[in-house]
Structure 1
C-alpha cells in the first residue's frame, strides 16, 4: 500500500497540471461506506501518465464484488480515445445463478455503465466494452458446493475533464457502477458518502 507521501514523491516531477488536478480529486474523493478503495500499480506503457485504483465492495464482511479503474492521460491527445483522457474499468460481482440464463443480462449490465454516467452528469465520448455472464457448478468431491454465477464488465470511455468537478463526476459514476453490478441501488439524492479515511492506504 502506498502512503500519501510516496504518491506525491513519485508523481511530482513534470506532472501536467490537469493530471495533477485529477489525482488530487481521487485523493479527496468521498466513497460509499461499502467500498474500500486503494491505489494499485498503474500501467506504464499505455499513456504518458496514469493512475489506478481498486475497490472491494463488502457488507457485513461479505464480499459482494470488486473493480478497478485506470485513468490515462496523454497531453498530446489520442485519436483512438477521441480526447486526452481515458477511463478503463473492470467490475465483477456474484449474481443469482438464475440471472445468468436471462439473455438480456449482458445488455442490462452495459446499461448500468451508461446510466451511471448519465445520472452523475459525467460527460463522456467513445464508450466501448464487453459484458460477460458465466455460471459454474461443482462435481465429484466438491459436488455439494453451491452453484456460482458472476457478471463481469470491462469497459473504457473518454471523460470530458477540465476541472476536479469533472473527475469527481466520473468517480461517482464508477462507484455507482460497482454497486449496481453487485445489486446495490444508487444513493438517494441528497445523501452524502462518507469522507475519506486517511489512515493506512492513501485512499482509505
Structure 2
C-alpha cells in the first residue's frame, strides 16, 4: 500500500498476516528489516530481507515476500503466496554433490513441516555455483554458493497462521548458511520493530 493510502482499505486478513511477518520473533543470528515489496505481482504485498550473521560475519542472506489477492489466484491455489530466496556460501566440494539440489529443497519442506505450517502448491529451484580465480586473481580463495528460490501458498484462516511460515523461513535461512537448529527449549529473540529501507512503512497495495 502506498504511503498516503488509506490503511482501512487493506483487507483485514492481509493486515493480520502482515502484522505477523513484521512483528515476528527471530533467531539471534538473523538481522531482519522490512524492504519495499515488489510491484504489479499482486494487489497487496509486504516484504522483508534478512542477513545471517555469525561472529559479525555475513554468512547468508534471503528475502521473503508475502503476496495477497483477495480474489484468489488459480496458480496459487489460494489468496496468499509466500515467495522467497535463501543464499549462502558453502564449501566448494559441496557443489559437486549430485544430491545437493534435493537436499536443498528438503531444507524448505522440512522447515515448513517441522513448524506445523499448512501449505499448498510448493515450487522452486535449488542452484549451486562455484568459481575459481586465475592469473592476477589467483590468490583469491575459491568461492561456492547455494541458492534456494521457492514459493508456496500458506493456508491461512482469515489471515491467521502465518507465524509458522515465518519461523520456517528463518530456519531455511539458517540451515542454508550451515547453522544447526535451535536447541530444545531455546526460543527466538522477542519481536522488535523492524528497520525500514524506505519511507513507506505500510503493507503495499498495488
Do these two structures clear the TM 0.5 threshold for a shared fold by scoring above it? yes
Higher relative contact order (CA 8 A, sep 6+): 2
Matches within 5 A, 1:39-78: 39-78=34-73
Q: 1:57-90, CA deviations, whole angstroms, 9 ceiling, x for partnerless residues?
A: 0011111100000000001100010000000001
Give structure 1 stretches of 5+ with no counterpart.
Answer: 1-5
TM-score, normalised by the number of residues in structure 2:
0.90
Alpha-carbon offset, residue 13 of structure 1: 3.9
Distance change (3 Å), C-alpha of 1:181 and 1:17? same
Distance 2:6 2:186 in 1: 33
Q: Deviations over 1:124-166 (max 9, x none)?
A: 0101000001100001111010101000111000111126651
- What is the CA-CA distance between 1:188 and the residue it aligns to? 2.5
- Could you say what secondary structure the match of 1:149 adopts? strand
Counterpart residue number, 2:145: 150
Q: Deviations for 1:114-133, whole angstroms, at most 9, x for unmatched residues?
A: 00000000010101000001
Quote the residue 1:185 is aligned against.
180
Rounded Cα–Cα distance in structure 1 between residues aligned with 2:83 and 2:195: 25
Aligned-pair CA distance for 1:20 = 0.2
TM-score, length basis structure 1 = 0.91
C-alpha distance in 1 between matches for 2:94 and 2:180: 17
Unpaired runs of 5+ in structure 2? 202-206
The answer (yes or no) to whether the contact 1:25–1:164 under 8 Å persists in 2 is: no
- 8 A Cα contact 2:124 2:149, kept in partner: yes
What is the Cα deviation at residue 189 of structure 1? Answer: 3.1
Residues 39, 172 of structure 1: alpha-carbon distance in 2 compared, 3 angstrom cutoff: same
Distance, in Å, in 1 between the alignment partners of 2:152 and 2:77 is: 9
Match of 1:29? 24
Distance 1:112 1:84 in 2: 25
Q: 1:7 to 1:184 in 2, by over 3 A?
A: farther
What is the number of residues matched between the two proteins?
197
RMSD across aligned positions (CA): 1.9
